[in-house]
Amino acid sequence: MQIVNEIQELNKALALISKSSIGFVPTMGFLHQGHCSLIKASKKKTNFTIVTIFINPTQFTNKSDLEDYPVSLEQDLIMLNKEGVDLVFCPNFQNLFLNEKMIDISLEQLDKVLEGKERKGHFEGVIRVLNIFFNLINPSFAFFGEKDYQQYLIVKYFANHFYPEIKIIPGPTQRELSGLAMSSRNSRLSINDFEKSKGIFKVLTFCKSNFEFNKRKELEKTCFDMLSNFSIPEYFEIRHADDLLNNGNQNRKWRAFAATRLGGVRLIDNIAIN
Ligand code: PAF
């Protein structure tokens, strides 16, 4: 496994491989089974897998969240080596953004709701860094976890406009035995809150079992109240799976989305409900 920090080294390595077969898994490190499943998917579909480890400051809307973001580079590299990753790119901020070519993109309603409402500028930051990575790496496939479903939709939209040759592949959310969606942020939960956090998946599955198109507003309220029994919810919303609108018709695909806080840790999750 090759580990590179500089753009020039990355370009050198890329010049030696066949461009038609690159799989790209972007990460912010502190890797878990969710990342591994994306890497496995990339290895199955392509013959050269590149992982980036970069905590992207431009996507953090809360300074303390950035400062508290967990780091474990050594362990991450061991894990990536075990998974058979071909190349890991761990750039530093100055170098990565030095020659940034800004793009102008309207994300329409996709970044106005859910996470976009609560974390202003977050998705612009995600797009900024992915624009740099896509430009540098030009993969055939890029892999994103469904835990961040809104991010997946936004990246797909962005890639369709600017990088139509890159296929954006979603990977199913990986869960702890309790049902808690795997996330680097889980490591900041106390034992007590980790125990409570299984309630989030229970509320989502309750929503799925009780989903009735005409009663979805009442169900959102019930689920929000269920979350508030053990945490401090920000939202519980039922929206279309493809455009995140909430006013469409019964026959389309719907998903339930939740964001809630446990002991200061903000957790998000979502599932398909029909
Ligand atoms: O999902 C993440 O970890 C980040 O948003 C990403 C895609 C690596 C961009 O920094």
105 close to 18: Cβ distance less than 8 angstroms: no
pLDDT, position 247: 86
Three-state SS for 62? coil
Residue 113 CA to residue 118 CA, distance in Å, equals 8
Pinpoint the alpha helices (H) of 30-148. Answer: 33-45, 63-68, 73-83, 93-97, 115-118, 122-137
pLDDT, position 65: 87
* CA-proximal residue: ligand 1, atom 1 (nearest): 27
pLDDT, position 118: 83
Residue 151 CA to residue 199 CA, distance in Å, equals 23
Question: Can you state the angle between helices 33-45 and 73-83, rounded to 10 degrees?
Answer: 30
Using the 8-state DSSP alphabet, how is residue 53 labeled? E
Which atom belonging to ligand 1 lies closest to the Cα atom of 27?
8
Of 60, 61, 148, the one to substitute when testing ligand 1's pocket (max ligand atoms within 8 A of C-beta) is 148
Give the chain's radius of gyration (CA, Å): 19
Which atom belonging to ligand 1 lies closest to the Cα atom of 148?
1
Ranges of the chain whose pLDDT falls below 70: 19-20
pLDDT, position 19: 62
